[in-house]
Structure 1
Amino acid sequence: MKIIGVCDTTFARFDMGAASIDEMKMHMGNLKIKRRTVPGIKDLPVACKKLIEEENCEIVLALGMPGPEEKDKMCAHEASTGLIQAQLMTSTHILEVFVHEDEEADPRELKILAENRAREHAQNLIKMIFKPDKLQKEAGMGMREGKPDVGPL
C-alpha cells in the first residue's frame, strides 16, 4: 500500500490538510495517509523530507497560507526553494499548495479558494500516483487549482 504524506501549518487560516485528506479519501478510500503539522511554511521542507525518509511516503502535499506582507512573500519563496531542494534530495514529488492571503480580499472568498486549491491538488496527487494517464490527458488544458480553468489556447 502506498503511503501519502500531508504536511500543513498552524499559520494557515483554513485547515487545508483536512480538506485535502477528505478529498483523497473520497476518491481513494483505502489510502494510508501520514499527516504532520508545523508552525509555518518555512518549517514545511524538513517536515516533508522526514515524511519521505522516515515515514516512507511516496508523495507529499505541502500546504501553507503565506500572509500578505512583503516578509511573508519572502518566507514563501524561501519555503518553496526548500521544498524544491527536498524533492531533489529525495527524488520524490512534494506538491506545493500555497494560498497567499492577498489572493482574495474577502475572507469568505479566501476560504473558498483555500479549500478548492487543497482539494484540487489532492486530486492531482491521486492522478500522479494512481492515474498518470488521466493527468497526461490534461496537459496543456489551462487548468487552475482553486480558481476557474482558463482553457487551452
Structure 2
Amino acid sequence: MKTIGIVDTTFARFNMGSAAVDEIQQNVSAKIKRITVPGVKDLPVASKKLIEEEGCDIVIALGMPGAKEQDKICAHEASTGIIQAQLMTNTHIIEVFVHEDEGKDEKELAFLMEMRSREHALNVVNMLFHPEKLVKQAGTGQRQGFEDVGTLKH
C-alpha cells in the first residue's frame, strides 16, 4: 500500500493537515503518516524524515507564513529547504503555503486555506495513483484555492 506523508504546522490559523487527510481519504485508499511541527522552517526536515524513516512515497507540506516581510523571507528559506529535501530523497514534496495576507478577510483566508489544502491533496493523489489525469490538465491554468485562470489562446 502506498504511503502519503502529511506535515503541517501549529503556526497556521487553519487545520490544513486535517483538510488534506480528509480529501485523501475521500479519494483513495492509502496509508497516511501525519506529523505537526511549529512552523514552516521545520517542514523540510520533517518531510525528509517522513520519506527516509517512515517510507512515505510522497509528502504534502502545509504551512502558513505570516504577513510580515520577515515571514516572507522565512517562507522562501523553507521553500528552498523543501526543494533540497526533494533532491536529496528523489521524492516529491508538494509545498502548500498560504500567506496570511492572501485573503481580503479572515473568511476568505479560511476558505483559501481549506481549498488549497484539499486541491493539493488531490494533486498528491493524482501524482501517486493517476498521473495521466495531470497530463490531461497540462497547460490549463489550474490554480489551487482560487478560480482557475484557463488556457491562453493564440
State TM-score, norm by structure 1: 0.99
Partners of 1:19 and 1:106 in 2: CA distance: 20
1:70-126 per-position Cα deviation (integer Å, ceiling 9, x unaligned) = 000000000000000000000000000000010012001000000000000000000
* 2:18 alignment partner in structure 1: 18
One-letter identity of the residue aligned with 1:134: K
1:107-151 per-position Cα deviation (integer Å, ceiling 9, x unaligned) = 010000000000000000000000001110000000000000000
How far residue 31 of structure 1 moved from its aligned partner, in angstroms, is 1.2
- Are 1:133 and 2:132 counterparts? yes
Partners of 1:6 and 1:105 in 2: CA distance: 27
* 1:9 alignment partner in structure 2: 9
Point out where structure 2 has 5 or more consecutive residues left out of the alignment. none
Matches within 5 A, 1:2-151: 2-28=2-28, 30-151=29-150
One-letter identity of the residue aligned with 2:25: K
Secondary structure at 1:63 match in 2: strand
One-letter identity of the residue aligned with 1:115: E
Runs ≥4 in structure 1, deviation > 4 angstroms? Answer: none
Secondary structure at 1:14 match in 2: coil
For these two proteins, the number of residue pairs brought into alignment is: 152
Identity among equivalent positions (%) equals 66
Partners of 1:17 and 1:51 in 2: CA distance: 15
Point out where structure 1 has 5 or more consecutive residues left out of the alignment. none
